[in-house]
Structure 1
Amino acid sequence: MTSPRTLTPGLPFLWERARRVNPSSLVARARRAGRRHGRSTLGVVVDMLWQAGVRGVGFQDYIDYDFAMLTRAERATYMTSPVSHRLAVRFDDPAYRHLFHDKIAFNGTFAPHLQREWMVVTDDNADDVRAFALRHGTIVTKEPMGRAGLGVHRYLARDVTDWSRFHRGLLDRGETLIEEVIRQHDELAALCAGTVNTTRVTTYFDGERTHVLAMAQKFGRGAVSDQNAFGGFYAMLDETGRATGDGYDSNDRVYPTHPDSGIRIADFRLPMFDEVLEFVDRLARVVPQVRYVGWDIAVSPTGPVLVEGNWAAGVYENKPSATGIRTGHKPRYLAAIDADAAGSASPLPHAAPARAVA
């Protein structure tokens, strides 16, 4: 049986987290949360430590998902980073994780679903790099082991004057994966044309069916990546692909409209939503040994395109102060993973079953 208690991080994990606590950062976060929700700084600090040590709630989870304003029952509906990590360790076979962690291995494994040209930089292929870049005009380079958008770069071929030097620079910096830039759907480009705005779809594959646990639409700000580190933000999507409210980021900023285009975030609906669900079902079956995955999908004019998959899926959750919704997605995770756990989670408010794709 998979229960909320068995998903709580163990003592070694919690001890390692405790060793890395930055007291000044903790107090600063607690002070901001206290001001926002009308609570004392000391009270929030104590609550954050208790939630981290007993409930498996990361400090950033506590801030991002407005735990300071939630009841105990409401908090229990939220998926958190430590609990998500425990799911990944339990359900993603270590022998196959490298196929997701290494971007070159990932591209080779999922090549039919990328729908774009890509190549690997080696010591002797400077001419091939030049031809690739000139053919596409703009290229994206990636460090194969980069995470959270870090290690992703964008170059214009017209800016390169010395191709031998450019090639050597890619090798020296470890940018050994080159990809064609994805052309996104016009509705997504209208929000921010300078960034490919991706959809994070978190799934669990039970061996027969793919369960969609959560979906979030990420919005870029013109940089090469739509991740938070590049100024991006996101909004959760409902069962029809519509945004559940305003957008938000991990710096406690809320976005009623996109800052660059002025488009209202709550009006967003993912184009080709049904096609995206069918697409992730196919993806989940490629490496069935890695059952719990966060897929980053781009919707092109002709259909969904795979950007990458993350075996350590990370967490995208609802922010009550941005949406007015005071519950999260944890019951969906439990329902997909274990029917008994779904029964134990069902009394939580507004628990919704995970959407299964046959």
Structure 2
Amino acid sequence: MLKRILYLGYYLKQLEKDKYVLFLNYAANKSKKSKLRLILDSFYSVFRYNISLLEYFQFRFFEKDHNERLKWAGTGFMYEYQLKMNPKDKRDILDDKRKFYKYYGKFIKHLSADVQNLKDDDYLVKRILSNPSGKIVFKVYDGKCGRKILIKSVNDFDEESLIHFMINNEYDLVEEYIIQHPELLNLSPSAVNTIRIFTQLNKQNKVEILGCRLRISINKSVDNMAAGNIAAPINEKTGIVIGPGVYSDITKPQEKIHPVTQKPIEGFKVPFWKETLQLATDAALLFKQNRSIGWDIAITEYGPDLIEGNHDWCKLLWQLPVNKGMKDVLIKYLSD
């Protein structure tokens, strides 16, 4: 009980109040239940089902009975699960992008550098500023969910000003902007649309795929759901999208057709699917101390390109696109 009380305090501190009110009004209209009843039920669900206040609405608990609610993995459960699977003292290789690029470098095709790399290697600076996309991406070493990312034209910099800009604006890394595969570009050109593959090591240290999702930008420079974009489920065996794109905003409809480009989402086949699955599998086996990881992978015309690995991978991105609570999938690994 004490742990759940602490979780509630965290949820209240982090709560996007405008979003809570938006979801509350929507749920009250849909369910015909009073707002007070929904508010009380959302707080009750924090304790009973180990979810956050917003997840009460995102998981549509206002429409679900007790047995259905039990199936969903919320923030509290995921925090405890990922803490066991990916211990805090082992996570830095994923948390710190500088270390990630060093140790997972064989899976990364795009150029990247920190300030010291640029100071030590003039040729690297020239390569980054002459990359074929004409754009560069600035990141902080511990950025999450597309936050603190800045995309700029290479024409805004020369070799000296690039380093000064990073230091003055406290950016730790600069990368060449990835040119995604033409088919993904046609689907949605506003951002690089990445594949998220969730991997889990079983007790035999074999990789099991927990799910695959296509993240699709909707007029945003990043593709994260938290930024207002959509995600769709991918068939693990075929690489074909098998459902509509969904938002984490419950007031928005599912998208079978991209709302901007009018390209079909369902039926889209991810290029280089076999190679993409293999990359995720190989990456998952590289450092087995982290056992459950969400891999973000870009697809270029030359094949898959690893972006990052997430030890605290998103339960919304995992469950919402398939409209199904999947806690049972994880529970079996807790006994391994």
Give the TM-score band, short-chain normalised: 0.7 to 0.9
Tell me: CA distance 1:97–1:70, structure 2 relative to 1, closer, same or farther (3 Å): same
2:175 match: 179
The structure in which a higher percent of residues are helix is: 2
Distance 1:135 1:220 in 2: 26
1:292 match: 292
1:132 match: 127
Amino acid at match of 2:109: Q
Q: Is the 8 A contact 2:228 2:248 kept in 1?
A: no
Map 1:254-293 → 2, pairs under 5 A: 254=253, 255-293=255-293
Map 1:7-22 → 2, pairs under 5 A: 10-11=3-4, 13-17=6-10, 20=13
Q: Any idea what the Cα deviations from partners look like across 1:139-187, whole Å, max 9, x if unmatched?
A: 2221111111112221211233x65344212112222212222232222
- 2:209 aligned with 1:221: no
Q: Is the 8 A contact 1:192 1:219 kept in 2?
A: yes
Distance 1:125 1:57 in 2: 47
Tell me: CA distance 1:317–1:72, structure 2 relative to 1, closer, same or farther (3 Å): farther
Partner-residue secondary structure (3-state), 1:267: coil
1:111 to 105, 108, 115: 105
Q: Is the 8 A contact 1:153 1:224 kept in 2?
A: no
Amino acid at match of 1:131: K
Amino acid at match of 1:17: Y
User: Deviation at 1:132?
Assistant: 3.0
Distance 2:55 2:235 in 1: 20
Q: Is the 8 A contact 1:246 1:265 kept in 2?
A: yes
Tell me: CA distance 1:204–1:337, structure 2 relative to 1, closer, same or farther (3 Å): farther
TM-score (ref. length: structure 1): 0.81
Distance 1:289 1:184 in 2: 31
Map 1:226-237 → 2, pairs under 5 A: 226-237=223-234
2:302 match: 302
Report percent identity of matched pairs: 22
Structure 1, unaligned stretches of length 5 or more? 1-7, 340-358
Map 1:148-227 → 2, pairs under 5 A: 148-160=145-157, 163-206=159-202, 207-227=204-224
Structure 2, unaligned stretches of length 5 or more? none
Partner-residue secondary structure (3-state), 1:248: coil
Structure of greater relative contact order (alpha carbons < 8 Å, 6+ residues apart): 1
1:356 match: none
Partner-residue secondary structure (3-state), 1:264: coil
2:65 match: 71
Moved over 6 A (4+): none
User: Deviation at 1:112?
Assistant: 0.2
TM-score (ref. length: structure 2): 0.86
Tell me: CA distance 1:77–1:274, structure 2 relative to 1, closer, same or farther (3 Å): farther
Distance 2:231 2:11 in 1: 29
Partner-residue secondary structure (3-state), 1:313: coil
